[in-house]
A and B are shown apart, each in its own frame.
Chain A
C-alpha cells in the first residue's frame, strides 16, 4: 500500500514535469528535443537509482519504488517517442526520423550505462551488490 501511495505522488510529479518540459522546449525544426532530453536524463537517473544501494538503503523501500516506478518511470515515455518517430516518417522526413530513433536508443543506453557505473563506483556497498 505504501508503494502504491508513493507511486501516485511521484507519478503526478513525473507526468506534470514531462508536460512542462514539453511546453518549455517546443519542437525546433519539427524535431522533438524535449522527449529526447526527458528520456535520456530519465534513463540515467533510473539506472543510477536502481544501483545506488548505499543511498536507497537509508530510506523506506516505498520511496525508492515511488521514485523509480512512479517518478522517473512516468517522466520518461516510450509511446510519445514511437508516435513522434512515426509522424516524422509520415512527413517523409527520413533523416530526422532515423536520427531521432538512433539518438534516443544509443543515447538512452549510454546514459543508462553511465548511471549504473556511477552508482556502482560511489553509491554501492563495498561488497558488490546483486
Chain B
C-alpha cells in the first residue's frame, strides 16, 4: 500500500508542478496564488472522496497518494514566512487566512457533496 500511495503522489506532485508553472506564467509569483488554488482544489476533492466513502484502495491511491501529493503544506508555510520576511504582513495574513479558512470550508463542502453522490 505504501507503493500505491507513492505512485499516486508522483501524479499529484507532477500536477502541482505543472499547475504552479501555468498559474505563475499568467499571474507571476509575487503573490502565491498557485499554491492557494492547488490546496483549495485538493481540499475540495479530498473532502469529496471522504464523504463518498471511497474503498480503502481508492482512498489510498487517490486520497493519500494523488491529492496528498498534489497539495502541499511545506510550500504554504514557506510562502507565509517569505511574505513576512519581505514585511508584506497584509499579504501574509490574507494568504494565511484564505488558505486555512478556505481549505476547511472546501473540505467540508466536498464532504457534503460526496455524501450526496454516495
Contacts and interface: CB of A to CB of B under 8 A. Distances in A.
Interface residues of A, number: 53
B68 A83 contact: no
Contacts of B56: none
A79 B74 contact: no
B17 A4 contact: yes
Given A19-B5, A46-B75, A14 B43 contact: no
Contacts of A39: 73-74, 77
Contacts of B78: 43, 46-47, 50, 112, 115-116
B68 A12 contact: no
A80 B81 contact: no
Contact of A77 (B6, B14, B68, B85): B68
A45 B78 CA distance: 10
Interface in B58-109: 60, 63-65, 67-78, 80-82, 84-85, 96, 99-100, 103-104, 106-108
For A10, A14, A86, which residue has the most chain B Cβ atoms within 10 angstroms? A86
A42 B2 contact: no
A7 B31 CA distance: 24
A79 B39 contact: yes
Interface in B30-60: 39, 42-43, 45-47, 50, 60
Interface stretch (A25-33, A52-60, A101-109): A101-109
A3 B104 contact: no
A11 B10 contact: yes
Nearest to B49: A83
B85 A15 contact: no
Nearest to A43: B77
Interface in B1-16: 1-3, 5-10, 12-14, 16
Contacts of A3: 17
Contacts of B47: 82-83, 86
B77 A85 contact: no
21 contacts: A7-B13, A8-B10, A15-B65, A15-B68, A19-B60, A19-B64, A20-B2, A46-B74, A46-B75, A47-B78, A74-B9, A77-B68, A78-B73, A79-B39, A79-B45, A82-B43, A82-B107, A87-B50, A108-B77, A112-B78, A112-B81
